[in-house]
Structures are given as structure tokens and as C-alpha cells.
Amino acid sequence: MKYLTLIIASLVLTINIYAQKNETLASTPPMGWNSWNNFECDRVNENVIREIADAMVSSGMKEAGYKYINIDDCWQIGRDSDGYIIVDSDKFPHGIKYLADYIHSRGLKFGIYSDAGTHTCAGRPGSKGYEEIDAQTYAEWGVDYLKYDWCNTDGQETVESYTLMRDALYKAGRPIVFSICEWGITEPWLWAGDVGHLWRTTYDITDRWDGTRWGNQLGWTEILEKQVGLEVYAGPGRWNDPDMLEVGNDGLTINESRAHFSMWCILAAPLICGNDLRNMPAEIKEILCNPELIAINQDELGKQGFKIYDEGNFEIWQKPLKNGDIALSFLNLENRDKSFNINWGKIRIKGLTGNYSVKNLWGNIMMGSTKDELSINIPQRDVLMLRLIKQD
Ligand code: GLA
């Protein structure tokens, strides 16, 4: 009997040791860059990744808080007879560890991509059946972040498949941010908080203001509307991921990029850039590096913002902040300018008590206090971002 108890106790202990997520990671939404939105499969390679890492440092983005450089699909080509993943040597001639070392030498962190099924979405080898070998390989290479996709998973169950990789990562012993990418199909906000650090809530984003492309790629305002109600599931170490940024990519104007970035900040979304950092116009750099906006995204309270007002083509969103301040965004979805009179009592801001001074975060301008009404004008397809700073 004594032995049986001992065996059961050691079994439970073993399961508990491995069945865990690295809890201390991503206490604020991860910030970085990923290759997919701009370089997709064909144009990603070692030079691009090295140059992007250099640009992240020289552009000031690292200083602004961005740290992950993540390779998405198409770095892998096969498996050897022992099951180890083989790197595509045409694209990455010096292997992945070499790149990870380079990125670390620049003071940044390194991320990679795989898939829970047999193949990735671009048809490269997936991790199914090789979870532990892959997790160990990533740990040996110095990977800090894994995005784990859901293509080619016929007959697989999401919670089980993602838990398997979570445990493999934990066992491999290196702290690795785990980014779940099952596109929201099994409502990951209900189960993924104990499995990963962030989870995609929708199908892929594309560099459009609205509408869809190729059937299921969505413009960013379509994705925004799908975040309504999900705010209750997010918090430090567990984030809804409305997909990577399209700021600075061809299909968005500067105003549209500014609005997109602002809304991702209000949502406490991961800020994973998807543009070519090597050729960034000054206006795009200013958007991505705005310290006031980043402070809202990275606020330690870790609250995801929510919609408080909707006129159809004009919306107001609120995000509570750590010291009692409140971030507000006024989003103009129309193709013409919008004028609006803010009557602070009427727009139903949650938790608004006492007096606040009002700061416009694009332009850094003080705009009086909540004692007075405020008339605002927002250009077409743009946003006004305010921080209400608690006075008493
Ligand atoms: C899926 C993901 C994308 C990207 C591609 C790569 O579509 O949702 O973000 O990773 O696969 O093939």
C-alpha cells in the first residue's frame, strides 16, 4: 500500500512538474516584429531577418520597447531520420542558432513558428508527433517565443494539441512565450489562459481598412468589431491577439495606420509589427514609437479596452489605467471628417469620478479638463486619442 501511494504521488508530481505554463512571461502585451505580413513565404531569409534586427535597433524601436524578432512560416524544410527538424538552407544558410545568437547580440529576443498539425499553412513540416524534439531544439537554439499555428490538423483537438506543446516547452526548460494561433475557432479565450500567453481571436489580418480578401483575410476594422466582449478574458500573461500589425504596409494610409495602431493599444493587443522596418517613412516610425500610446498598451494593470459608445460610423472606446487614469479613443470610421461635442457626463465612461486633465496623445497637447465640455474634430478614417489624467 505504502509503495502504491508513493508511485501515485510521484506520478502526480511528474505530471505537475511538466504540466505548466511559464507564468512569469508576457506580464504586459509582447512587443516585436514578425516576418509574415510583409515578407510571407517567398521573401523571408537570413539577410532580411538580420537587417530587420539592425533596423529595430537603429530606428529607435528597441528603445521604444519592441524586443522580439520572430520568423514566421517557411524556415523549415524536412526532418532527418532521428526526427530533428531540417532548416531550409537556401533561405537560412547559417542555420537558426546563428540567427538567434545574432539577434541576442543586438539585445533583442528571438521567435520562431511551427504548427500543431502535420504541415504548416505554407506546407512546411509541422510539429505533430515531434513536439518534444522540437521544443528541445528551440530551447537549444535560444528561442524566446513560439507562434503555433493550426493548419493540417484533421481530427486533432485544439486544447489537447496546444497543451501538448505547452508541456513540451515547459519540459525543455527555457522560458518561451507561447502564442496560440487557432484563429478563434474554438473560442480560445475560454481555455487558453492556462496554456499560452496570447491567442489569436480571428482569421488573418490583411493590410486593408475594411472588408475581406481571399475569402477569410480581414481588414483591421472588421477584426476590431470581433473583439467586443472579449475584454473580460485578458490580463497579465494572457492576452487576446487580434493579429499582427499592418501599420506601414501598402494598403493603409497614414491616418488609417494611426487609427489601427491606436486601437491595438486600447485593446492591450500584442504589438507585433509587420512592416519592412528597413524602409520606414518617418510618419510610420512616429506612429509605432509614440511613447504615450505604447504606455497605454503596456499599462501594468493589463486591462483590455472596451467600447462604450457606437453611432455606427463613430465609436468611443475606453481603457482603464493603473493610476486611475483613463485612455479614450474616438474612432471615425467614415470617409469624411467628424465633429463631436464631448459632454463628459453623457458618454458613460466607466469609473469616471472627480476631475481629470485631458491630454491629446497624438501631438502631446493639453486640452483642458473634464470640468468643461470639449469640441473635437476627427479627420476621416482616423482617431483622436485622449488620456484623462486624474487630478483629485
Ligand atoms: C496562418 C497564420 C498566419 C501565418 C500563416 C503562415 O495563416 O494565421 O498568421 O502564420 O499561416 O503560413
pLDDT confidence of residue 332: 98
Q: Is the CB of 325 under 6 A from ligand 1?
A: no
- For ligand 1, atom 9, which residue shows the shortest CA distance? 204
pLDDT confidence of residue 19: 62
CA of 312 to the centre of ligand 1 (A): 31
Element (H, E) at 257: helix 254-266
Q: Is the CB of 120 under 6 A from ligand 1?
A: yes
Nearest to 266 by CA among 238, 226, 232, 294: 294
Question: What phi and psi, each to the nearest 5 degrees, are found at residue 217?
Answer: -85, 135
Catalytically active residues, by annotation = 149, 204
Q: Is the CB of 182 under 6 A from ligand 1?
A: no
Task: Give the mean pLDDT of 167-183.
Answer: 98
Question: Average pLDDT over the chain, rounded to whole?
Answer: 95
State how far the alpha carbon of 114 is from the alpha carbons of 26, 91, 273, in Å: 20, 17, 19
Beginning with the edge strand found earlier in the chain, give each strand of the sheet holding 177-180 in spatial order: 239-241, 198-200, 177-180, 145-149, 109-115, 68-70, 31-34, 271-273
The residues, any chain, with a CB within 8 Å of residue 248's CB and separated by 6 or more, are 257, 273, 275, 276, 280, 281, 284, 287, 288
The whole-model pTM stands at 0.95
Angstrom distance (rounded) from CA 316 to CA 342: 11
Inform me whether the pLDDT recorded for 190 exceeds 80. yes
Task: Give the mean pLDDT of 160-173.
Answer: 98
CA of 387 to the centre of ligand 1 (A): 35
pLDDT tens, 348-363? 999 999 999 999 999 9
Q: Is the CB of 134 under 6 A from ligand 1?
A: no
Judge contact between 64 and 57, C-beta under 8 A: no
pLDDT confidence of residue 22: 86
Give the confidence band of 257 by pLDDT, cuts at 50, 70, 90: very high
Angstrom distance (rounded) from CA 72 to CA 293: 26
pLDDT tens, 195-252? 999 999 999 999 999 999 988 999 999 999 999 999 999 999 999 999 999 999 999 9
pLDDT tens, 114-156? 999 999 999 999 999 999 999 999 999 999 999 999 999 999 9
Give the confidence band of 3 by pLDDT, cuts at 50, 70, 90: low
Give the confidence band of 16 by pLDDT, cuts at 50, 70, 90: very low
CA of 242 to the centre of ligand 1 (A): 13
- For ligand 1, atom 3, which residue shows the shortest CA distance? 204
Q: Is the CB of 149 under 6 A from ligand 1?
A: yes
- For ligand 1, atom 1, which residue shows the shortest CA distance? 121
Ligand 1 pocket mutation, candidates 146, 148, 204, criterion most atoms within 8 A of CB: 204
Inform me whether the pLDDT recorded for 368 exceeds 60. yes
> Which ligand 1 atom minimizes the distance to the CA of 150?
1
Q: Is the CB of 241 under 6 A from ligand 1?
A: no
Inform me whether the pLDDT recorded for 181 exceeds 90. yes
Q: What percent of the chain has pLDDT over 90?
A: 93
pLDDT tens, 326-354? 999 999 999 999 999 999 999 999 999 99
Inform me whether the pLDDT recorded for 8 exceeds 60. no
CA of 36 to the centre of ligand 1 (A): 7
> Which ligand 1 atom minimizes the distance to the CA of 200?
8
Inform me whether the pLDDT recorded for 5 exceeds 80. no
CA of 149 to the centre of ligand 1 (A): 7
pLDDT confidence of residue 6: 47
How is residue 295 written as a grid cell?
Answer: 504606455
pLDDT confidence of residue 62: 98
Task: Give the mean pLDDT of 363-390.
Answer: 97
> Which ligand 1 atom minimizes the distance to the CA of 120?
12
pLDDT confidence of residue 23: 86
CA of 323 to the centre of ligand 1 (A): 37
Angstrom distance (rounded) from CA 81 to CA 320: 53
Alpha carbon distance, N-terminus to C-terminus of the chain: 66
Give the confidence band of 40 by pLDDT, cuts at 50, 70, 90: very high
Q: Is the CB of 297 under 6 A from ligand 1?
A: no
Number of CB atoms found within 10 A of residue 47's CB: 11
pLDDT confidence of residue 365: 95
